[in-house]
Chains A and B, each alone.
Chain A
Amino acid sequence: MDEQLQATPICSRHRALNALMAPFGGWDMPIQYEGIIAEHSWCRTQASLFDICHMGEFLFQGDFEADGLEDVFTFSVKTIPLGRSRYGFLLNEQGGIIDDLIVFRLAEDKVMIVVNAATAPKDFDAIKGRLRGGAFTDITAATGKLDLQGPLSRYVMVELFGEEVATIPYFKFITMNILGVEAIVSRTGYTGELGYEIFIPSEKVCELWDLMLTDERVKPAGLGARDVLRLEVGYSLYGSDIDEETTPLEAGLESFVNFDKSFIGKDALLRLKEQGVTRKKVAFEVIGRRSPRHHYEICFEGETVGAVTSGVFSPMLGKGVGIGFIKPELASIGTPLTIRHERVSMEATICELPFFRDGSVRS
């Protein structure tokens, strides 16, 4: 095991629960407790608690335009209303995705940027290198993050923290007192279910974890279940589905790119738009219970036309589902594909996202 692995403040709790731990993004993280499918099913029907302390958080305070932050991401920061958050990308000059992230508008001159764990150091350097001023700090170590996700999560949150939580709409957040400290409660998540992300000073996060688990509707869930949940609703996983070699245009994520503003990588994306992409993201359903997996080949009429970037057996659909990149001329709904790897071969059909449509995310 990598000796450089970092541990979250909840680490001792995971061990006490006998969780299966594994390295993820440089952190020693819980993959599962009682089992991936049981935890997946709990999250789709009850409320699941995830330790997400590994994710990175940065603070920026300054003049968004004068200090250069406005041009850093594929979306406008200054137009995010107070108390709202926005999803989008940090791109390199070639339009490749350095990271996908969410920016929270905390104040007139202040935002929190939430990034993936594995990319946090390079994100920080990339953003800092593009800023001309303002105060930019990495608050990852000082910030604890727990996600409560599932159709019952609102009831749990209201019972624990008060009525105020009940009214937070999707992609909005409030600042409130939890356990005597200031916390951010955001209606966002990565499961396709109604849910909340809670940011709290890291010295309080263990206490919050324990408190939330006192509610019998809440059970812990690991990153294994989180991956199944996110893939069923078609969310991209950085490092698997998107990376620095992939642009939002190829990944079907153009709606998170605002071409009416300037941002680094825009020229490359405009050129790519004109030339046309050479590969495109598709979603497919497997006929049967086999699971497509990262790097499996995608074939059409006997010829390799692309590769799988994410795949899983979907418990909700009862069949294998996956995401991959193929030649754009083949990327239409209904196209039959064969997914291959060594002896393994499975028939699949290109379909629309999300695979699972009945999540409670907007309820």
Chain B
Amino acid sequence: MSMYFTKEHEWVKVKEGIGAVGISEHAAHELGDITFVELPKIGAVVKQFGVLGSIESVKAASDIFAPVSGKVVKINDALDTAPEIVNESAEDAGWMAWVEIADVAELKNLMTQEQYDAYLKTL
């Protein structure tokens, strides 16, 4: 499974045309205690780098952007009542949505894990 990142610190894990989407550990750490996650609706069609949802912590509120275009086919309902899962496991249990990837060519616009790690060092 390949994992890609955006400059806004979202990730997408790609498997069989489906992208699981979330925010990076770095982003979760920067936000601090996460208190609310606004998830997209199942069936919603999102555009790459368009708004997918939003996330709030005690310190800040920010939008979550879609790393890929496509249709939302599944959302992580557990975050409605336990958004702290994102702090505990941002890049695994803290996933937010599954997107049916419309165009795999868009992955070229994203960073690999290695590139993302290098990018973090520049911030």
Contact = CB atoms under 8 A, between A and B. Distances in A.
A37 B58 contact: yes
A334 B83 CA distance: 28
A344 interface: yes
Given A343-B51, A343-B63, A290 B58 contact: no
A31 B59 CA distance: 10
Interface in B60-94: 61, 63, 83
A290 B56 contact: yes
A32 B36 contact: no
B93 to A, nearest CB: 18
A313 B51 contact: no
B53 to A, nearest CB: 10
B56 A313 contact: yes
Nearest to B37: A289
B36 A291 contact: yes
A313 B35 contact: yes
Contacts of A32: 32
A344 B32 CA distance: 20
B56 to A, nearest CB: 5
A136 to B, nearest CB: 38
B4 to A, nearest CB: 25
Interface residues of B, number: 13
DSSP majority for the B interface? strand
Nearest to A38: B33
Given A313-B35, A343-B51, A36 B58 contact: yes
A224 interface: yes
B59 A290 contact: no
Contacts of A344: 54, 61
A35 interface: yes
B58 A312 contact: yes
Contact of B32 (A35, A288, A289, A293): A35
Interface residues of A, number: 18
Interface string B11-42: 00000000000000000000011011010000
Task: Give the interface centre of A31, A32, A291, A344 by most chain B CB atoms within 10 Å.
Answer: A291
Contact of A290 (B32, B36, B51, B63): B36
B33 A291 contact: no
Contacts of B33: 35-38
Interface string A290-323: 1101000000000000000000110000001000
B16 to A, nearest CB: 32
Interface string A31-50: 11001111000000000000
A32 B87 CA distance: 15
A228 interface: yes
Contacts of A320: 36
Given A289-B83, A344-B61, A36 B36 contact: no
Nearest to A35: B33
Nearest to A346: B36
Task: Give the interface centre of B33, B38, B54 by most chain A CB atoms within 10 Å.
Answer: B33
Contacts of B83: 289
A36 B59 contact: yes
Contacts of B36: 288-291, 313, 320
Contacts of B32: 32, 35-36, 224
B54 A228 contact: no
Contacts of A312: 58
Interface string B43-56: 00000000100101
Interface of A: 31-32, 35-38, 224, 228, 288-291, 293, 312-313, 320, 343-344
Given A289-B83, A344-B61, 5 more contacts: A228-B58, A290-B38, A291-B35, A291-B36, A313-B36
Among all A-B residue pairs, the 10 with the closest Cβ atoms: A313-B35, A289-B36, A37-B33, A36-B58, A291-B56, A290-B36, A36-B33, A35-B33, A289-B35, A36-B32
